[in-house]
Each structure stands twice: as structure tokens, then as C-alpha cells.
Copies of this chain bind each other. A is one copy, B any other.
Amino acid sequence: MITRLEDIVDRARQGPKRTVVVPMADDLEVLQAIKMAMDQGLIDPFLLGPKKKIEVLLAQVGLVVSPDRIVDEELSTKAATLAVDLVKHERGAILMKGLLSTADFLRPIVNKDNQLVKNGLLSHVALIQSPYYHKLLCITDAAMNIQPGFVEKVKIIENAVGLLHSLGNSLPKVAVLGPVETVNHKIESTEHAAMLSQMNREGQMKECLVDGPLALDNAISMEAAHHKGIKSEVAGDADILLAPDLNSGNILYKSALFLGGSSAAAIIAGARVPIVLTSRADSSLSKFYSIALAVATFD
């Protein structure tokens, strides 16, 4: 049973090593996280980018990578395309963003010719370990989809549910967040929540329990939910929090980290391979956990 981020590392350790392909790997902090994951026996690296610079940084980090696993490439767009090619030809299992723009990194991934996107939508899925919650809490989407409509939200839920399935949770509880518990036509998030909950009840979204709108307190606090008289299998025990939009998802994720002492792992879900896209602001431990999460999603 996975209840802490360390459990994810344990799970990742149980399987075979996976190859992580990093376009523009000339990034000290990314290489530090790669080293941590190698030290734990989780991964092999495949590095693309300016070779000389990468080698200097590898020495700095104290990391030894065989020369045939470093491809010299100055251009970030080319490195990103090469990385996707490697994954398509099964020479890599995980993609991780190096020192290039998110747009350049994602372009070949979302390119339809490459058939890497499963249900038509990539989404950011974070797992946070909070001192104020009894299990890992999945927050989505904190980084990718700006103003998801109803159809996009179905896919965002599918991506997060799929991730938790792969971690052994066969019936994740999804709380669709809103600022109130009632459906209000002036608040679109509450309308979406009602539609998503009803779809789930009617069997259109399977292998999960969806309920909402739930305000955050009632999604994660049994006491708050009881106090408000809310009867729901999800309330107070959510595995997944679906944020109304990017504004609120980003704030929720960062609040858990910066106003809540949480640790986090995050991946981009929805592609045929897990994608690690950490930001400069993430700690190296958080980057390491994210790599471990990517490895752990393989059955």
C-alpha cells in the first residue's frame, strides 16, 4: 500500500531499471536528481545536449555515464525530437525535460505523427505528502491546462486515475473541487462537478468514485464534512483533487508546498510514456521523487 512518497521509491526499486531520456541535459539540478535516482538503482540515463558542457556538469555531480549514452546536440528543438525518437524506438522508457523551454520539449511529444498522446490530452499530476493528511493526495492540474472545459476534465480525471491505478489503488476517490457544495449556474466549476459526478454514477467513468462539487475542506477533512452533514464516499477521504482550472490548481499545489510543508512528486500523464517535467523551483528531492514516480508507474 502506497501512503508516502518513500513507498513510491520502494515500488520503483522493485522493478527493472528504466531508461530516462533527457533532452538538453546540461542542467546541474536535473543531473543531481538523475544521480540520486541512479544511486537508488532506479534508472539508466540517456543524455542529449551540448556534450562538452554535459561532461563538465557530470564531473561536478560525480556521475559516470557511458559515452554512448551521451548524444552531442546543440539545438534544443533537435534534442527534443531525438529524445522522442529514442522513446518511439524503445530505447528509452521515460522522458525528462532538461534545460529547454517547455514548449520546445513538448512539441514533438504532442505531435500527432508520433502517436505518443493516449487520450488526446496531457495533464500535470502531482502527488503530495502532507503532514496534515492521512495519505498521499493527488492534485491535478497545477501546471498544464489553463481553462479545461468539461471534456478536458474527463480526460484530466482519467489521467490521474490511471496513474493511481498503476500505483495499486484500484478505486481512487476523486473530489471535484468548487468553492461551494451546491450547483450554482454562476460558478462553472460546480456545474462541471455535478456533470462529472453523475457520469461516474452512471458508469461512464469507471474504476473510480467521483463526487463534487466539494469545497477543499470537505474533500479532505472528515470532520468538516460531518459538520456540514455531507454524505459522500469521497468527502474527507479524497485521493484525487480535481482543481477547477489552472489558477486554482497551481495555487493549491503551491499552497500545499509553501504554506503546508508538503513534499511532492509530479509527472505529466496522458502520454504512452511517463514524462518528468519539473520546474526550477522544485527541490532536488522533489525532482528525484518525480523520477521515482515515473518509474513506479510501470506495472
Q: How far is the CA of A261 from the CA of B186 in the complex (A)?
A: 31
A132 nearest CB across to chain B (Å): 5
| Contact residue among B147, B178, B221, B259 (Cβ-Cβ distance under 8 Å from A133) | B259
Q: How far is the CA of A217 from the CA of B220 in the complex (A)?
A: 22
User: Given A187-B246, A228-B280, A260-B261, A216–B255 Cβ distance below 8 Å?
Assistant: yes
A257 nearest CB neighbor, chain B only: B217
A121 nearest CB across to chain B (Å): 16
User: Given A178-B247, A228-B281, A258–B186 Cβ distance below 8 Å?
Assistant: no
A98 nearest CB across to chain B (Å): 18
A217 nearest CB across to chain B (Å): 5
Q: Is A77 an interface position by the 8 A CB rule? A: no
Interface residues in A, total, Cβ within 8 A:
44
Q: Is A254 an interface position by the 8 A CB rule? A: yes
Residues on B with C-beta less than 8 A from A262 are 259
A235 nearest CB across to chain B (Å): 12
> Within A231-287, which residues are at the interface with B (CB < 8 Å)?
243-252, 254-262, 280-281
User: Given A132-B259, A255-B260, A250–B216 Cβ distance below 8 Å?
Assistant: yes
Q: What mask results when residues 38 to 64 of chain A are scored 1 for a CB within 8 Å of chain B, else 0?
A: 000000000000000000000000000
Query: Could you tell me if B220 and A250 are in contact, using CB atoms closer than 8 angstroms?
Result: no
Query: Could you tell me if A258 and B221 are in contact, using CB atoms closer than 8 angstroms?
Result: yes
| Contact residue among B147, B187, B246 (Cβ-Cβ distance under 8 Å from A146) | B187
| Contact residue among B216, B227, B244, B254 (Cβ-Cβ distance under 8 Å from A216) | B254
Q: How far is the CA of A189 from the CA of B245 in the complex (A)?
A: 12
| Contact residue among B177, B178, B247, B260 (Cβ-Cβ distance under 8 Å from A187) | B247
Residues on B with C-beta less than 8 A from A246 are 179, 187
Q: Is A215 an interface position by the 8 A CB rule? A: yes
A261 nearest CB neighbor, chain B only: B132
Query: Could you tell me if B255 and A259 are in contact, using CB atoms closer than 8 angstroms?
Result: yes
Known contacts A130-B259, A177-B251, A216-B250, then 20 further A-B pairs from the complex at CB < 8 Å, ordered by chain A residue: A132-B259, A142-B179, A143-B179, A146-B187, A177-B247, A179-B247, A187-B246, A216-B255, A216-B258, A216-B259, A217-B254, A217-B257, A227-B280, A243-B251, A245-B248, A255-B255, A255-B260, A259-B262, A260-B260, A260-B261
Q: Which 3 A-B pairs have the closest CB atoms?
A: A179-B250, A260-B260, A216-B254
Q: Can you list 11 A-B contacts (CB < 8 A)?
A: A133-B259, A146-B186, A146-B187, A216-B255, A227-B280, A227-B281, A243-B251, A244-B247, A244-B251, A256-B259, A259-B259
